[in-house]
């Protein structure tokens, strides 16, 4: 799928396509990158009830300033509701 313009406005459509393809192909995990948590939350909502496990990769703590984690802690709490399908990781 190609979009005319990059941006947040493509997130929902991209996630919907990923879900449909994962279900069609028997893919059991989807990995998304999420700096602040918005994409992770959108993915969790779209994948809810599908059995697809969500893996979220964030920036490491301190990438912007010492000891700062940019991933929204309130979103993280919401995502923990789906703990059996949610893993929060950082790149190394």
Residue scoring higher pLDDT (72 or 12):
12
pLDDT number for residue 90:
61
pLDDT number for residue 83:
45
Segment 55-90, tens digit of pLDDT: 888 877 767 778 777 888 888 888 877 645 555 666
User: Which residues are registered as beta bridge partners of 81?
Assistant: none
Q: Helix 38-47 and helix 11-25: axis angle, to 10°? A: 40
Mean pLDDT of 8-37: 94
Mean pLDDT of 41-65: 85
Residue 43: count other Cβ atoms within 10 Å of its Cβ. 26
pTM of the model as a whole: 0.81
């Amino acid at each position: 799928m190609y979009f005319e313009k990059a941006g947040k406005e493509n997130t929902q459509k991209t996630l919907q396509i990923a879900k449909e393809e994962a279900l069609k192909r028997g893919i059991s995990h989807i990995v998304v990158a999420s700096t602040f948590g918005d994409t992770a939350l959108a993915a969790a909502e779209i994948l809810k009830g599908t059995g697809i496990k969500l893996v979220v990769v964030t920036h490491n703590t301190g990438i912007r300033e010492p000891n700062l984690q940019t991933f929204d802690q309130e979103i993280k709490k919401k995502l923990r509701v789906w703990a059996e399908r949610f893993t929060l990781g950082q790149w190394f």
